[in-house]
Amino acid sequence: MATEPEQPAKSYFLSWRYILFWVSSLLSNIGSWMQLVAQPWLVLSLSNSAFWVGFTGFATTFPAILFTLPGGVLADRYDRKKVTIFFQVIQFFFVAALVVLLVKGWLHVWMIIVISFIVGLTDALSNPSFQTIIPSLVDHKDISRAVSLNSTQFNLSRILGPVIAGVVIARYGGVACFSANAISYFPFLIAIWYVYPRNKARIRKETIQSKPVDQWREIRDLLHIHTIRLPLMTVLAANFFCGPLITFCPILIRDVFHSGVSDYGWAMTAFGAGGLIGAGVTFLQFSGSFGRNKFASAMAVFQGMLLIILALLHSFLLLGLILVLCGITQISANISVNTFLQENAADKLRGRITSLYQLAMYSGVSLGTLVTGFMVSRWGIATSFQINGSIAIVLQSALLWRQLQQPVAESSVVKKV
């Protein structure tokens, strides 16, 4: 008779395994941000079209709508370590192919869109497995700090990546940014291989034996719980209306502030600095009737206000300040919901719950980028941001009110499912 596999002992917070994971993720994300800075500017240079800039961003995030939930099922049914490495290796080869095409002078916008779609597809299928690594590296009481510290790493890369990219593009061109991203996969893959516990990815007997239809039913049942559904709606709305800010920042810098790629890099750095502060804010513990989920909705309301202010600006100095505040609100809202779910998720459901969070975030960015790209091409960047910000304020205020009307203790809400 099969027995439940023995679970590995938890590591102390800031153990060598967590530090190796943190450093390798930082290097990988710096490479990713260097490419994210160079790619929209490259597409804008090749097409001179706001629509194609938005459509390229849509192609990167759209696969999350279709494949994040299957990725969550993969995370709960198969070895999470192998799933993560398999799809990240595939992603590396296509990023390397983009570098070759750029060096040879064969790159066209449609090629960037195809490769962006494949990168988004591999991310969607591997992210739920990858996101479960943190609870496997630390004790349960340290999950909140570990998630926040990992978000600090991500937003530190958001500062360093654009700064390095601005210097590299000016000196060596965009190809160097794409090359740096390809190289950054190596330390990340090596670290995942060594730090991810071998037995942690194996799932309980009852989960392995459950039929796929039962697992999809469990996902549906999770969405019927308002303490899960409302925070996910907060993430979806925030990323739909405010998430496109990053994608269309090159157009904002070029058309409104009449600046170049170096100022675009500094604008991204300001947003990353705000994200770093937002990650630090989430170290605070929220208890009582105003928990993490409600805090996320409150931050999302402020984010909508900031987007309207951003649309009215003509001062580059004030632009930097507002982008810092946008980074604080967006990152702290996302992290608060992610931490809430990670802290309270039962291990057998962790992959699917994480996939729901990923689905809300990426589908919001994907569809929001596509719609905003259409709006910008017709009405301009300022009007589009004002419309998005106004709708975001109304929706997020309604979500905050709903959650304030239904105070439920955060602990063990998801575990009871």
Of 203, 196, 389, nearest in space to 307 by CA: 389
pLDDT of residue 383: 92
What's the burial of 211, exposed, middle or buried (CB within 10 Å: 0-12/13-18/19+)? Answer: exposed
Cβ atoms within 10 A of the Cβ of 411, count?
11
Give the whole-number percent of the chain exceeding pLDDT 70: 79
H helices of 204-346, in order, are: 205-209, 212-223, 226-241, 244-247, 249-251, 261-281, 292-312, 316-344
**Distance between CA atoms of residues 306 and 258, nearest Å:** 21
Q: What angle, 0 to 180 degrees and rounded to 10, lies between the N-to-C axes of helices 347-379 and 212-223?
A: 60
User: Average per-residue pLDDT in the chain?
Assistant: 78
pLDDT of residue 216: 62
The tens digit of pLDDT for each residue in 237-280 reads 999 999 888 888 888 888 888 887 667 777 877 887 887 787 77
User: Which residue has tokens 């301009």?
Assistant: 380
Instruction: Go through the chain and tell me how many residues it has.
Output: 417
Is the separation of the CB atoms in 368 and 304 below 8 Å? no
User: Does the CA dihedral 280-333-122-34 come out positive or negative?
Assistant: negative
Backbone angles phi, psi at 136, to 5 degrees: -85, -10
User: Which residue has tokens 């938890």?
Assistant: 10
The tens digit of pLDDT for each residue in 2-57 reads 333 434 444 445 677 888 888 898 999 899 888 877 888 788 888 888 788 888 87
Q: Kindly report whether the global pTM for this prediction surpasses the value 0.95.
A: no
User: CA dihedral defined by 64, 158, 236, 124, rounded to 10 degrees?
Assistant: 10
The tens digit of pLDDT for each residue in 100-141 reads 998 888 888 999 999 989 998 998 888 878 777 777 777 767
Class of domain 16-405: mainly alpha
- Take residue 356 and report the two structure tokens written for it: 């729901």
* Among the ranges given (46-60, 61-75, 149-163, 298-312), the one the predictor scored with the smallest mean pLDDT: 149-163
Is the separation of the CB atoms in 273 and 159 below 8 Å? yes
**Distance between CA atoms of residues 138 and 386, nearest Å:** 42
For residue 19, give the DSSP letter: H
pLDDT of residue 295: 86
The tens digit of pLDDT for each residue in 156-176 reads 776 677 778 767 876 777 788
Cβ atoms within 10 A of the Cβ of 412, count?
10
Is the separation of the CB atoms in 168 and 37 below 8 Å? no
CA angle 132, 155, 338 (to 5 degrees): 35
**Mean of pLDDT values over 344-364:** 74
Q: What angle, 0 to 180 degrees and rounded to 10, lies between the N-to-C axes of helices 174-183 and 143-172?
A: 140
Cα first-last separation, the chain: 27
**Distance between CA atoms of residues 171 and 83, nearest Å:** 38
CA angle 381, 299, 317 (to 5 degrees): 50
